Amino acid sequence: MARTSSGFMAPVALAAAALLVAPASAQEQVVKIGHSGPLSGPNAFAGKDNENGVRLAVEELNAKKIVVGGKTLKFELVSEDDQCDARTGVSVAQKLVDSGVKFVMGPYCSGVAIPASRVYNEGGAMVSTVGTNPKVTENGYKNLFRIIASDTQIGSNMAVYAAKELKVKQVAVIDDRTAFGQGVAEQFSKEAKKQGLTVVGQEFTTDKSTDFLSILTSLKGKQPEAIFFGGYAPQAAPMARQMKQLGLTAKLLGGDTLCSPEVGKLGGEAVNDTVVCAQGGTMLDKVAAGPAFKAKYKARFKQDADAYAASYYDQVMFIAEAMQKAQSTDPAKVGAQMGQLSHQGVAGTYAYDDKGNLKQAPITVLTFKNAAPVPLASY
């Protein structure tokens, strides 16, 4: 290539070189995929798992070199720690919107998803959340999708299971006062009464507590055969241990957050055959693509997939499929396509109603054996 005596390329050669590289860069379009979840604090295990599900999808999509509108898409993950805190989550939402992120995976906690979704909506971003509180999808935001079952489905199914399978008559309820905990506990109580169960006691705690001896002692005197806990894994595990300590033989029931392997890690043998939970989705071991996904995840991240890695992975893949169908990365056009399409993912089939809820959301009921979650039944 022509160079001047000083070693620099001559202007003509420089211009020619610029022409050679320009088309290549012009043919690539960066698509930022945001993630909002707890990457610190007691629920960090869930936030990292969700982030890993997104990361796996992003890496696979980049390897496929998907072309939309004549340009090869390059997906970039932008992950933020919302700490499962509403105020922090709203700040994260504003930060992601301000940095041009149009597709957001998360938040994990309903108490973050409810206020943050307004910011995302105003910023024209699509949100795909595992927040299960019914209120998450009740604000009429067009591009908000709940990628798992809601509290209505999870709490109700757990009450039906308690009545029909566990054959209990008396239940108690504890919730941690979070949007998620209250929501799922209310749905359980409502359905329990419909099923003819007697709610003998109701207690409250917080999502920071670890000592439940006083409320469990109070409930023990009322002789519940099962206690439903609306809350998260870091509280459920010590609660199970303290139930055993008090000689409280009731089952500890809960929603999806109690199905996490973290409950077994933190609770040990106290959770075995005591914790019974309902999780949105089917067990990965029981679906065709599940074992391969689990193996792929473990090879990449050197740990087992937790509750929602597959759901986050699936939704990113669904978004990419909708981009190809729409031949656009405009969230409004992509969301419109997703409203019409059905996507077969690892964890299930994704098709959404006009509120952004799954049309069919399978539920799996699990218990713990050897401090690990094992499926009992799917509905």
What pLDDT does residue 5 have? Answer: 40
HEC string of 312-328 equals HHHHHHHHHHHHHHHCC
- CA 109 from chain centre, in angstroms, equals 8
- Predicted pLDDT of residue 284: 83
Tell me if 117 sits within 8 A of 139, measured CB to CB: yes
Residue range 108-137: mean pLDDT, rounded: 97
pLDDT at position 298, please? Answer: 98
Residue that wins the pLDDT comparison between 279 and 203: 203
pLDDT at 15: 42
Q: For residue 346, what pLDDT is reported? A: 94
pTM score: 0.85
Q: What's the CA gap between 136 and 115, in Å, rounded?
A: 9
| Percentage of the chain modeled with pLDDT above 70 | 93
Per-residue pLDDT band for 20 (boundaries 50, 70, 90) equals very low
pLDDT digits (tens, 9 = 90+) for 208-241: 999 999 999 999 999 999 999 999 999 999 999 9
CA-closest candidate to residue 152, choices 2, 350, 355, 324: 355
Q: What is the mean pLDDT of the chain?
A: 92
| Cis amide bond preceding 107, omega within 30 | yes
The pair of three-digit structure tokens given for residue 20, joined into one six-digit string: 């050679």
301-349: per-residue pLDDT in tens?
Answer: 999 999 899 999 999 999 999 999 999 999 999 999 999 999 999 998 9
Identify the CA nearest to 96 among candidates 86, 104, 87: 104
Q: Please check the confidence at residue 153 and state whether its pLDDT lies above 50.
A: yes
pLDDT score for 361 = 86
User: For the residues 41-51, what does the mean pLDDT come to?
Assistant: 97
pLDDT above 90 for 67: yes
Query: How far is Cα 145 from Cα 133, in angstroms, rounded to an integer?
Result: 13
83/42 Cα distance (integer angstroms): 9
Centroid of chain to Cα 105: 8
